[in-house]
Chains A and B, each alone.
Chain A
Amino acid sequence: MGEAVKAERIYKSFQSDKTKIEALNEISFSVGTGELFGLIGPDGAGKTTLFRILTTLLLADQGDAWVDGLEVVSQYKEIRKRVGYMPGKFSLYQDLTVEENISFFATLFDTTLKENYDLVKDIYVQIEPFKNRRAGALSGGMKQKLALSCALIHKPSVLFLDEPTTGVDAVSRREFWELLRNLQAQGITIVVSTPYMDEASLCDRVALIQDGKIMDIDTPKGITAKFNKSLWAARSNDMYKLMNDLRADERINTCYRFGQFHHVTFNEMDHEIKIIADQLISRGHADLRIQKIDPTIEDCFMALMNE
């Protein structure tokens, strides 16, 4: 498997007032051809800066990067022909209709919608009923589909998607990820960023990124396998009190709310849990349940943040 993207010690800083912000601090990673690769991290982690460097829209201060075997500085023109980029912020022409935006981007790349119709068909049919509507008047979901159609119009070899699912509801997010899997099946390498940790498991490999640094890169399973503490899920009839009681206990290492449960790690051995549970019950917790569980990507992300 060749490398579709390769970054070596990419460094980029910005000056804001008197403070220097290190947006990317020596980032290195590579993405294999045909891979679905996720950059997982919150706003401000450096994801967009990294995308802009890889799509040749921004120069790194230091470091080297290649996309589809081409060097991002000296061969930027060739890269631009070969990549598709969907920025996090809607960047199409609001005053042009759906159809006009598509034909505009097709013309730029000297192609037509017809030529690569197989690739965009699944997405395009959903916006086709609105093809005469101005892009600015589309709903969020439809704008996203139009932007994706435009990013795919020239059959790119590498597709960069910057936070395509931010602010999108849980159902539409699932549908979007199904679309990505279909595109991957057609041979396109996809690099996608997201702040939603639960989407990590849908990628072949992920990089967990925070404060301009990659904390870990691996398959989703590889990341969770590295979680080196035993993790427990706890619940009772009063979750707020349970959180306070657990956090006040010095045997407890971390305690975070996760949906219906608190996820807890202990400093002690596993068998101590019985003692802690009994003490919680004597403090008035009813319906107490504590069970050992497997960590999620979000557990791992938080553990890495605390290191």
Chain B
Amino acid sequence: MNREASISVVDLTKRFGSFTAVDAISFDVKKGEIFGFLGANGAGKTTAMRMLCGLSMPTSGKAVVAGFDLYKESEKIKKSIGYMSQKFSLYEDLTVRENNRFYGGIYGLTDEQIKEKTAFMLEHLKLESKADTLVKALPLGWKQKLSFSVAMIHDPQIVFLDEPTGGVDPITRREFWTMIYEAAHRGTTVFVTTHYMDEAEYCDRVSIMVDGKIEAMDTPAELAKQFNAKGMGDVFVQLARTAKRSDN
């Protein structure tokens, strides 16, 4: 168990009845690292991510997230991490400012802190003119950038991003990754899933899950070498094709 790591996982397992969704996965993620968590649909990514966020108890194995034990300190974990996905992010019927206020409040920020954070965010995202606009009226790309900022409102040690760029236009997708790089540069650990293989190349390290197990984990360049592949797309296809578990 590596207590220095931002995330440290040993033999983490989750079974649903006779079905082993996550099968003894082990890995460490360093502080400030961008860690890509890849796998085909049904490989067990979501189940693993839910456990790391303290939302689902493992069947067995150990994990320390942001310095806290997954079994005994899951509430502390929840306070130390940020989370966003394409599906769940912001409240559409609240304005940009109200969403900030709401999430800031949930994470226990003071009014002063929320005000400060909101002002900084609006300026950084060039959203000043939209502060009092309902989120549902914003284009998707802005929503995604905004929900990333909201996930970071409490300066979490780790941010979990579940397919954050699905369906986003190609320019905004890249702006989003610039935000990820900036966050990692400031020391935030980024744990990210994606179906865009070019985005897998942007990660410091990538793991690929097949049938509940991690079958490969290294830097994109090393993985390409190991699999004699042109890039992460080829590596992914080679591994995912070995899956025995049918997608059912």
Contacts and interface: CB of A to CB of B under 8 A. Distances in A.
Query: A and B bound?
Result: yes
A250 interface: no
Given A171-B241, A260-B231, A301 B201 contact: no
B3 to A, nearest CB: 28
A286 to B, nearest CB: 14
Contact of A256 (B174, B196, B237): B174
B125 interface: no
Given A139-B41, A170-B197, A256-B174, A17 B140 contact: no
B40 interface: yes
Nearest to A301: B170
Contacts of B67: none
Interface stretch (A4-12, A69-77, A161-169): A161-169
A136 interface: no
A140 B202 CA distance: 27
Contacts, number: 100
B141 interface: yes
Given A170-B233, A171-B241, A259 B170 contact: no
B174 A42 contact: no
Nearest to B248: A139
Secondary structure at the A interface, as helix, strand, loop or mixed, is: mixed
A222 B221 CA distance: 33
Interface in A11-49: 16-17, 19, 41-45
A19 B40 CA distance: 40
Interface stretch (B68-76, B109-117, B131-139, B152-160): B131-139
Given A195-B167, A210-B169, A142 B248 contact: yes
Contacts of A140: 41-42, 247
B195 A257 contact: no
Contacts of A239: 202
Contacts of B195: 167-170, 173
Contacts of A17: 134, 137
Nearest to A167: B166
Contacts of A229: none
B90 to A, nearest CB: 15
A168 B166 CA distance: 10
Nearest to B42: A139
Interface of A: 16-17, 19, 41-45, 129-130, 138-142, 163, 166-174, 195-197, 210, 239-240, 243, 256-260, 298, 301-302, 305-306
- Which 5 residue pairs spanning A and B have beta carbons closest together? A42-B169, A43-B167, A259-B198, A141-B247, A169-B40
16 contacts: A17-B137, A42-B141, A139-B42, A139-B248, A166-B166, A168-B41, A170-B197, A170-B237, A172-B41, A174-B237, A195-B166, A195-B168, A239-B202, A240-B185, A259-B197, A305-B169
